């Protein structure tokens, strides 16, 4: 096909329409908020946890491979050379939203910072757990 033929073929009216881009569930704030309150409600002592621990559990529940890596490391007490734990910016953003919406609160000093689940977060976790098809 010659260049002029291609230009003639493409010389038609067109327009752009804005469409929303699909977003993976793991990147949605509500997903992160849900995971956060469930971790604090089910997996934490006193409904408190450090931010690195929250990220570790968030990473481990993403897929079976991550879960198996964590279980293997915990059971063998080996050095985790092959384990790269990802701190997800989306999950950090969910923690920030949860703090802003009084779902959780930061407690402790800068060196020993913990995230504490508040009553609003406990209620949210309970409502999530009661949903049958999750």
> Band of the pLDDT at 59, cuts 50, 70, 90?
very high
Question: Which CATH class, in words, describes the domain spanning 25-129?
Answer: mainly alpha
5 pLDDT band (50/70/90 cuts)? Answer: confident
Q: Calculate the CA 36 to chain-centre distance.
A: 8
Q: Which pLDDT value is given to residue 7?
A: 74
| Cα(35)–Cα(30) distance, integer angstroms | 9
What phi and psi values does residue 70 have, to the nearest 5 degrees?
Answer: -65, -45
pLDDT value at residue 23:
64
Residue pair 127/38 in contact by the 8 Å Cβ criterion: no
Which tokens is 126 given? Answer: 């309970």
Q: What is the pTM of this model?
A: 0.75
Give the model confidence (pLDDT) of 16-56 as tens digits. Answer: 788 777 766 656 788 899 999 999 999 999 999 999 999 99
């Amino acid at each position: 096909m010659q260049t002029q033929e291609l230009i003639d073929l493409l010389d038609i009216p067109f327009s752009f329409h804005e469409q929303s881009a699909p977003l993976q569930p793991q990147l949605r704030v509500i997903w992160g908020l849900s995971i956060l309150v469930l971790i604090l409600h089910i997996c934490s002592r006193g409904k408190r946890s450090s931010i690195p621990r929250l990220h570790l559990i968030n990473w481990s529940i993403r897929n079976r491979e991550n879960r198996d890596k964590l279980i293997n490391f915990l059971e063998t007490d080996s050095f985790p050379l092959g384990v790269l734990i990802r701190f997800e910016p989306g999950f950090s953003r969910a923690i920030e939203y949860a703090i802003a919406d009084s779902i959780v609160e930061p407690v402790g000093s800068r060196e020993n910072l913990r995230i504490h689940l508040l009553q609003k977060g406990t209620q949210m976790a309970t409502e999530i757990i009661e949903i049958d098809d999750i």
